[in-house]
Amino acid sequence: MANQKISRPLLLFAATLSLFLLPSSAQLRQNFYANICPNVESIVRDAVTQKFRQTFTTAPATLRLFFHDCAVNVSFLSPSLSLSPPQGCDASVIIASTPGNTAEKDNPDNLSLAGDGFDTVIKAKAAVDAVPQCRNKVSCADILAMAARDVVALAGGPSYAVELGRLDGLSSTAASVDGKLPLPSFSLDQLTASFAAMGLSQTDVIALSGAHTIGFSHCNRFAGRIYDFRGRAGSVDPTLNSSYAAQLQAECPRNVDPSIAIQMDPVTPHTFDNQYYRNLQARQGLFTSDQALQEDARSRPLVDAWARNPALFNRAFVTSMTRLGRVGVKTRPAQGNIRRDCSVLN
């Protein structure tokens, strides 16, 4: 009896801890909504296609939003507590800030997520909820995962069966983003460590960086490579192709309007293809973190393989997107819910 009295609180403590620390036993699966909302994938695809036809930015904005959603961690106990559960792909990035809470997306580190990504999810959610059987039955996290799959295909990339069954997260704080996202200044080791924190591999780093085959970057994200590199006046990053450096200097003059953004793939900016890796071979990677994949002997073999063989890259990208989509997912009712409005906690 005495024994039990001592161990009960301990057991409770251990059980609570394990909720946070055990790797999620969560299982996603394809066709998760087959009986709940049978046409959900075509409903989402139609809404995303309509938005994509209005603006190409839909594709990069939605793809990047998915990455940021999955890559961010929140402590819903207290932001100061280090014991934070993996936040993962739970649509917490879509939550709008309120007077009492600065949400993830308004962390200065949100690196200027384009509004079109949020808009895509909101529109697809409206289309899903317009079907009575589907109303409030499909999570915003799954809608974002489907939309990310759809924009890759719409931009000319591979299509794939997407795993579903995520619940939406119950919190979103700007503090949770701090230090979680990889920076464009990162070396291969730093990129690998940052992906390892999500349970992802160096191969995932190299494959998912291929997403930079579409989309835009603001000038300040790489200005340090084209002006006064490492503080030396007038110097340019020696791993940057000199004609490309000149082109970047023309597009991004010193003290340029901070809202100016340029295309990340200078060759086929509107096509999801393997040109990203060919650019790296020509030393036309935009960020230090991009070019590092070519400069570092450990990652170069995959860069070369995927530059040569688009089908090989497509397969690797799909595998890594699927792995990214599993990061920290919540499937138990205690962990999450299905949001009525993707930008507001229920």
Ligand X SMILES: *[C@@H]1O[C@H](CO)[C@@H](O)[C@H](O)[C@H]1NC(C)=O
212 has binding-site annotation: yes
Among 24, 209, 335, 343, which residue interacts with ligand HEM (rule: CB under 6 A)? 209
Closest CB to ligand HEM among 165 and 325? 325
The one-letter amino acid code at 228 reads D
Check binding of 180 to ligand X (CB under 6 A).
yes
Residue 218 annotated among the catalytic residues of the structure = no
Indicate the helix (H) or strand (E) that contains 218: strand 216-218
Which of 127-157 are b and which e, b meaning 16 or more Cβ less than 10 Å from the residue's Cβ? Answer: bbbeeeebeeebbbbbbbbbbbbbbbbbbeb
Residue closer to ligand X by CB (options 37, 114) is 114
The entry of ligand X, ligand HEM, none near residue 183 (CB within 5 to 8 angstroms by kind) is ligand HEM
Which of 24, 59, 67, 86 touches ligand X by CB under 6 A? Answer: 86
For residue 133, give the DSSP letter: G
d(CA 96, CA 344) in angstroms, rounded, equals: 6
Residue 238 sits in the site that holds ligand X (CB under 6 A): no
Ligand-binding annotation for 182, yes or no, is: yes
Which amino acid does the sequence have at 35? N
Give every CB contact of residue 190 below 8 A, 6+ residues apart in sequence. Answer: 182, 183
Q: How far apart are CA 108 and CA 106, in angstroms?
A: 6
3-state secondary structure at position 266: coil
Question: Which does residue 180 bind out of ligand X, ligand HEM, none, counting CB within 5 to 8 angstroms by kind?
Answer: ligand X
Q: How far apart are CA 242 and CA 57, in angstroms?
A: 28
Task: Pick the binder of ligand HEM from 186, 272, 276, 306 (CB under 6 A).
Answer: 186
Contact range with ligand X by CB under 6 A, out of 51-59, 103-111, 164-172, 294-302:
103-111
Q: Which of 45, 68, 166, 330 is catalytic?
A: 68
Residues that bind ligand HEM (CB under 6 A): 60-61, 63-64, 67, 111-112, 114, 182-184, 186, 191, 205, 208-209, 211-212, 214-218, 221, 261, 287, 289
Instruction: List, as residue ranges, the binding site for heme b.
Output: 212
